[in-house]
Protein backbone atom coordinates (compact mmCIF):
# COMPACT_ATOMS: atom_id res chain seq x y z
CA UNK A 1 0.00 0.00 0.00
CA UNK A 2 1.29 3.45 -0.86
CA UNK A 3 0.80 5.66 2.19
CA UNK A 4 2.63 8.79 1.04
CA UNK A 5 -0.52 10.68 -0.01
CA UNK A 6 -2.82 9.85 2.90
CA UNK A 7 -3.70 12.03 5.89
CA UNK A 8 -2.22 11.21 9.29
CA UNK A 9 -5.69 10.51 10.65
CA UNK A 10 -6.52 8.09 7.82
CA UNK A 11 -3.11 6.43 8.09
CA UNK A 12 -3.55 5.87 11.83
CA UNK A 13 -7.02 4.43 11.21
CA UNK A 14 -5.62 2.08 8.57
CA UNK A 15 -2.99 0.84 11.03
CA UNK A 16 -5.54 0.34 13.82
CA UNK A 17 -7.91 -1.52 11.48
CA UNK A 18 -5.18 -3.73 9.94
CA UNK A 19 -5.44 -2.28 6.44
CA UNK A 20 -1.69 -1.80 6.79
CA UNK A 21 0.81 -2.28 9.60
CA UNK A 22 2.96 0.20 11.46
CA UNK A 23 5.97 -1.82 10.30
CA UNK A 24 4.95 -1.39 6.66
CA UNK A 25 4.43 2.34 7.15
CA UNK A 26 7.88 2.70 8.70
CA UNK A 27 9.53 0.78 5.88
CA UNK A 28 7.76 2.90 3.26
CA UNK A 29 8.88 6.10 4.94
CA UNK A 30 12.45 4.92 5.47
CA UNK A 31 12.63 3.97 1.80
CA UNK A 32 11.34 7.40 0.83
CA UNK A 33 13.90 9.07 3.08
CA UNK A 34 16.70 6.99 1.55
CA UNK A 35 15.44 7.83 -1.93
CA UNK A 36 15.06 11.58 -1.47
CA UNK A 37 17.17 12.83 1.42
CA UNK A 38 20.42 12.90 -0.54
CA UNK A 39 18.78 15.56 -2.68
CA UNK A 40 16.75 17.56 -0.16
CA UNK A 41 18.73 17.04 3.08
CA UNK A 42 15.65 17.18 5.31
CA UNK A 43 17.04 14.90 8.03
CA UNK A 44 20.10 15.27 10.24
CA UNK A 45 19.49 11.91 11.90
CA UNK A 46 17.26 8.98 11.00
CA UNK A 47 16.66 6.51 13.83
CA UNK A 48 15.65 3.62 11.59
CA UNK A 49 16.24 0.81 14.10
CA UNK A 50 14.29 2.63 16.79
CA UNK A 51 11.43 3.36 14.39
CA UNK A 52 11.28 -0.28 13.32
CA UNK A 53 11.29 -1.47 16.94
CA UNK A 54 8.49 0.91 17.90
CA UNK A 55 6.45 -0.15 14.87
CA UNK A 56 6.71 -3.79 15.97
CA UNK A 57 5.51 -2.78 19.45
CA UNK A 58 2.54 -0.94 17.96
CA UNK A 59 1.62 -3.87 15.71
CA UNK A 60 1.85 -6.25 18.68
CA UNK A 61 -0.41 -3.99 20.76
CA UNK A 62 -3.00 -3.91 17.99
CA UNK A 63 -2.82 -7.70 17.56
CA UNK A 64 -3.39 -8.08 21.31
CA UNK A 65 -6.44 -5.81 21.17
CA UNK A 66 -4.79 -2.98 23.08
CA UNK A 67 -5.13 0.66 22.04
CA UNK A 68 -1.77 2.01 20.86
CA UNK A 69 -3.01 5.61 20.84
CA UNK A 70 -4.73 7.84 18.32
CA UNK A 71 -1.75 8.46 16.03
CA UNK A 72 0.06 5.15 16.40
CA UNK A 73 1.71 4.20 13.15
CA UNK A 74 2.04 7.76 11.89
pLDDT > 90: percent of the chain: 89
Phi, psi of 17 (to 5 degrees): -100, 10
Q: Which pTM value belongs to this model? A: 0.88
Q: What is the pLDDT of residues 17-34, one digit of tens each?
A: 999 999 999 999 999 999
What single string gives the DSSP state of each residue in 29-62? HHHHHHHHHHHH---S---HHHHHHHHHHHHHHH
Cβ-contact 52, 28 below 8 angstroms = no
Q: Is pLDDT of 12 > 70? A: yes
What is the DSSP-derived secondary structure letter of residue 67?
Answer: -
Amino acid sequence: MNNDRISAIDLAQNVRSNVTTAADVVEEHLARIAERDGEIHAFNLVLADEARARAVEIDEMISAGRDPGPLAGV
